[in-house]
Amino acid sequence: MLAVTELTFSYRPGGEELFGALTREFLPGAVTALTGASGRGKSTLLYLLGLLLRPRTGQVLIDGVVASSLSDEECSGLRATRIGFVFQDAALDPSRTILDAVVEPALYAGATITAVRPRALQLLDEFGLAHRATHRPGQISGGQAQRVALCRALITNPSIILADEPTGNLDMDSAEMVLSALVAASTQGRTVIIATHNAYVVERAADVVQL
C-alpha cells in the first residue's frame, strides 16, 4: 500500500507550497492518473512517492512504514526493490546496449547479470524487442525506447510503478502499447501511478488525482 498524509512540498524556503496537505491512498491493482495544469506538481509528486525528494511536511508511507523518514540508504534500497520508474524521455544511456539498460536496476538490487539476464530477455521478447537487445538507444525508435524503459521498470518485479508522462512523446500506436502495458501491470496487483496531461490516459485510469 502506498499513501501520503498531510503532504506539502516547496522547492525553497518561502516558495510556493504544493499539494495543500494532500492525504491519499494509491491502491494496488489500479492505475491512478495524476493530472492538472503545468506547475501543479505532477512530476514532483511522483518524485516524492519514489523517495527521490522529501516532503516539507507530511509523510509518504509504504506498507504502513513512513518511508519518507528513512535514511538515504534505506530509501535507495526501497527504490531498488519496490519501485519502478518510467520517464517521458526513456532516459536510456546512449553508450550502453538495450539489454544493459534493462538489467541495470536489478544489479542495484543485488542481482547478478547471469541471474537476471533471462528475465531481461523475456521482458524484451514480450514487448517485441528481443531482436534489439544488442542495439543502442540511437538505433531504435522513440516508441521502442519507451518499451525498453518499461522493461527496465519491471525487471525487479516492483510493487509500485511510477510513470512521468510516459506517452507524451509517442505516436498514438506506440502510446497505446505503452499504456496497455501499464494497465496490464496494474492487473497483476501493482500500484501504477501516471502523471499525465493526456485525456486518453486519464480515461483509462481507475482513479484520478486532480492537482
Q: How is the chain split into domains, by residue range?
A: 2-210
pLDDT in tens, the chain (211 residues): 899 999 999 998 878 899 999 999 998 999 999 999 888 899 999 999 999 999 999 999 999 999 999 999 999 999 989 999 998 787 788 899 999 999 999 998 888 989 999 999 999 998 889 999 999 999 998 889 988 999 999 999 999 999 999 888 788 888 888 899 999 999 999 999 999 998 989 999 999 999 9
In the prediction, which pLDDT does 90 show?
76
Supply the DSSP symbol for 69: G
In the prediction, which pLDDT does 60 show?
97
| Coil vs helix vs strand at 120 | helix
Residues composing the chain: 211
| Coil vs helix vs strand at 97 | coil
Closest by Cα among 181, 188, 194, 190 to 124: 181
In the prediction, which pLDDT does 34 show?
96
Q: Does domain 2-210 have CATH number 3.40.50.970?
A: no
Measure the CA–CA gap between 86 and 193, rounded to whole angstroms.
10
In the prediction, which pLDDT does 89 show?
80
Supply the DSSP symbol for 190: -
Beta carbons of 184 and 29 less than 8 angstroms apart: no
Measure the CA–CA gap between 117 and 91, rounded to whole angstroms.
20
For 125-152, give the DSSP string.
HHTT-GGGTT--GGGS-HHHHHHHHHHH
Helix ranges, the chain (H): 42-49, 72-82, 98-108, 113-126, 142-154, 172-187, 199-204
